[in-house]
Amino acid sequence: MTRVVGEGRSYVAHSDEPYDIVSLTMVDAWIGAGAGAFMFVENNLYTVEGVRAYLSHLSPGGVVTITRYYPHHETLRLASVVRRALLEEGVARPEEQMIVVRGEHRITGTVLAFRGPVTPETVRSATAALARIGGQRSESDPLPARQRYRTPTWI
């Protein structure tokens, strides 16, 4: 694993190599947001174009993970951005390549976008990993509803 400290979107855009994991975990601070500063400024890391850049650099079987503070609207917005990016990358059913995780105590939310469809084994592994760190499966798990409503898997 190579840790890169820098502006992620720019780094990936200038790289020619494929990655197994592109992880953006709590990379933006809410210091300004607490005072109301920059409340209408878009962070370029979380745009459709940014997510497309990360997806285009994934190796086969790779995953993009983006973790942010949980306010429900932030996680839903991020899931929507990732869904749109997958559509623009030519994925016909983006909900089949996504998992959305609500972190412990609902402090964080994580959206995972996979290079290929999410398998039941991937869902089991993610659920087990979440349990090990004290999280729990969401009450609103739409696995049965996934076929009806075309939503990503929530854990």
Return the higher-pLDDT residue of 21 and 42.
21
pLDDT tens string 39-96: 445 567 778 998 999 999 999 989 999 888 766 677 888 889 999 999 999 999 998 8
CB 109 within 8 A of CB 68: yes
The pLDDT-based confidence of 21 (bands split at 50, 70, 90) is: confident
Arithmetic mean of pLDDT, 10-21: 83
Residue 145 scores a pLDDT above 50: no
133 Rama class: left (phi>0) / alpha (psi -120 to 50) / beta = alpha
When the candidates are 3.30.70, 1.10.10, 3.40.50, 1.10.3110, the CATH number that belongs to 18-154 is 3.40.50
Per-state percent for the chain, helix, strand, coil, to nearest 5: 40, 20, 40
Three-class DSSP category at 66: strand
**pTM metric for this prediction:** 0.75
